[in-house]
Amino acid sequence: MAQKNIIIEKTYFLRAAILFVFVFLFLIPGVVQAAALYISPSSGSHSVGSTFSINVYVSSNDQAMNAASGVLSFPQDKLEMTSISKSASIMSLWVEDPSFSNILGTATFEGIVLNPGFTGAAGKIVSVSFRVKAAGSASIAFSTGSVLANDGLGTNILTSLSNAQFTLVASTTPTPTPTPQQTTRVGVPSLPQITSLTHPDQEKWYQSNEAKFSWNLPAGVNGVRLLVGEFAQSIPTIVYIPSIDSRDLSGLNLEDGVWYFHVQLRNLNGWGGVAHYKFQIDSTRPEYFNLSEEEREDATDPNAVFLVKSADSTSGIDYYEFQIDDTEAEIWRDDGSNLYKTSPLAPGSHLLIAKATDKAGNYLVDSAEFIVEAIKAPTLIDYPRVVETGEYFLVKGTSYSDSEVTIFFQRENEKVQNKTAISDENGIFAVNFEKGLTQSGAYKMWAEVTDWRGAKSLPTEKISFAVERSSAFIKLGSWATKVLSIVIPIIALVLLLIGILWYAWYRFTIWRGRIRKEVKEAEKALHKSIAILKKDLAEQIRMLKHAKSKRKLTKEEEKIIRRLKKKLDIIEKFVKKEIQDIKREVD
């Protein structure tokens, strides 16, 4: 705690110096007197689960003051600060908007009153609201404070700090419930069941102030009493005869806050018990919402941190929505630190759009632009210029130690692929392409690195390299070329011989056809000649035979006849044989 006070004290002196310069330059000097900071109310008793508010005042009766600052401390285990408001404050300017932290258990304010300053006993600075978490004693005290005089010198005229002490007790009063409870009086109407279509959940906040209610009317009810107000256990006073079973409060123009609607029924036996219905209205946006980026020691830190300041004194801030660039919006609820941390972002300019939404759905929007610087790109020191398809190769380089290096490679205009490796403690990395690349062509290669924080570099310059077909394919092609250089001439020669033989056969076929024709013609001529010869010989034989019928032939004539017949038969047989031999040769 002492260390925290030292830090706060240093911050106070720095801010006091800034205020002093402002006062010296712009405000009119005055006389030095005494001033005090105090809390009102300074004591009280509150039950667990309830809420209460305090105001911080400045008192400076004899001397005009123009600036005040302070840090309030409270026990985080017993109290939870729900809001801090500068509404109706005497402060004209704020060096920093009032803020609080439930983790540290502190609330901070620092403001300026313009000339002629403030003189009086009760100058309101801020209002603070708490919710009671646990029973016990709670002290709300000033850790530090200052009040500067309007004297042109920025003199600290604070002489006293008054603290507050509260008693926190366990809750003994049950939370009002809409469940009807039967009255103990005999014969009177039971508690009515109140419902609302406009405000159906008693624990939720709604934007609409046009509340509508309805309730059941048992038989025999002849009167109804109603009331709407800010107290939970009020007795209704407005009588409706004849009885009604609904009421529209739209015309009342109810203000924001917690309200209660009360209903009581009457019959011939008298008035029954009172039913109470709580409804909550918050129709206005949060008072303010501001984003500011916390300064980063390293501009390459990919996680930006933003201080989130907002206030909604009615229903309170429920949640925030944060959207970075074109990503999907993220729902975020404050853990009390008021600090929103982004996920790791890529280097470059970014736009954060944020929305603070209260419990009724009202919201304010703010935005902030910020830049994430890139870390240094890796250096590629060993890589191939030409590789064969399927050939093993390495890409080596240097970068940050224990970082993830990604090698990107792309063949012409095809899809980008990548491989990763982790650098060693000296920043050396090697990306292993153990199976090589399967497709030949022109490739480009580049690299990026991501360090342990998630910070990224810009890509390196693209390096070109070639992937050629494997030498096994080249040898096979050379062997095939040699084989084809021998085979093709042989095939050509064979085709030429086949062509010559075919042509010779073709010519022979034509020649054979001609021979057959001539043989047929010769055969025909021979047959014709033999027929003529045969006819002549037959005529000669016939003449000899005719002469024989008239006279007896001489032996010589008989011998001639026999010889002619024999010769004619021999000639005919010989000619037939020769013609058959020629046909066989031709075929």
CATH number reported for the structural domain that contains residue 428 in this entry: 2.60.40.2550
| Domain end (from 338, 355, 372) | 372
Q: Tell me: do 295 and 275 sit in the same domain.
A: no
Q: Note whether residue 153 is domain-resident.
A: yes
Q: Note whether residue 108 is domain-resident.
A: yes
pLDDT given at position 136: 92
Number of folded domains in the chain? 5
Q: Tell me: do 212 and 318 sit in the same domain.
A: no
Helix (H, G, I), strand (E, B) or coil at 351: strand
Among residues 374, 376, 322, 378, the alpha carbon closest in space to that of 348 is found at 374
Q: Note whether residue 129 is domain-resident.
A: yes
pLDDT given at position 401: 93
Q: Tell me: do 389 and 336 sit in the same domain.
A: no
Among residues 120, 135, 131, the alpha carbon closest in space to that of 80 is found at 131
CATH number reported for the structural domain that contains residue 18 in this entry: 2.60.40.680
pLDDT digit string, tens, across residues 315-355? 999 999 999 999 999 999 999 899 999 999 999 999 999 99
Q: Tell me: do 296 and 271 sit in the same domain.
A: no
pLDDT digit string, tens, across residues 499-514? 888 888 777 778 777 7
pLDDT given at position 381: 92
Q: Tell me: do 54 and 139 sit in the same domain.
A: yes
Give exposure, 179-212, as e/b (b: 16+ Cβ within 10 Å).
Answer: ebeebeeeebbebbebebeebeebeebbeebbbe
pLDDT given at position 261: 96
Q: Tell me: do 133 and 11 sit in the same domain.
A: yes
Q: Note whether residue 264 is domain-resident.
A: yes
| Residue ranges for the chain with pLDDT beneath 70 | 1-33, 171-185, 471-485, 519, 522-523, 525-527, 529-531, 533-534, 536-537, 544-553, 557, 575, 578-579, 581-587
Give exposure, 238-255, as e/b (b: 16+ Cβ within 10 Å).
Answer: eeeeebeeebebeeeebe
CATH number reported for the structural domain that contains residue 250 in this entry: 2.60.40.10
| Domain end (from 437, 469, 501) | 469
Q: Tell me: do 160 and 277 sit in the same domain.
A: no
Pairing of strands 404-411, 441-450: antiparallel
Among residues 100, 32, 104, the alpha carbon closest in space to that of 66 is found at 32
CATH number reported for the structural domain that contains residue 327 in this entry: 2.60.40.1930
Q: Note whether residue 187 is domain-resident.
A: no
Q: Tell me: do 48 and 129 sit in the same domain.
A: yes
Q: Note whether residue 484 is domain-resident.
A: no
Q: Tell me: do 311 and 426 sit in the same domain.
A: no
Q: Tell me: do 384 and 364 sit in the same domain.
A: no
CA angle 453, 457, 459 (to 5 degrees): 150
| Domain end (from 281, 302, 332) | 281
Q: Note whether residue 321 is domain-resident.
A: yes
pLDDT given at position 585: 63
* Cis-peptide, bond into residue 218, ω within 30° of zero: no
The alpha helices in 196-317, defined as continuous H runs, are none
Q: Note whether residue 538 is domain-resident.
A: yes
pLDDT given at position 28: 39
**Which residue is associated with the tokens 């736009």?**
351
Structural domain for 384, as ranges: 379-469
Q: Tell me: do 152 and 50 sit in the same domain.
A: yes
Q: Tell me: do 302 and 384 sit in the same domain.
A: no
pLDDT given at position 435: 80
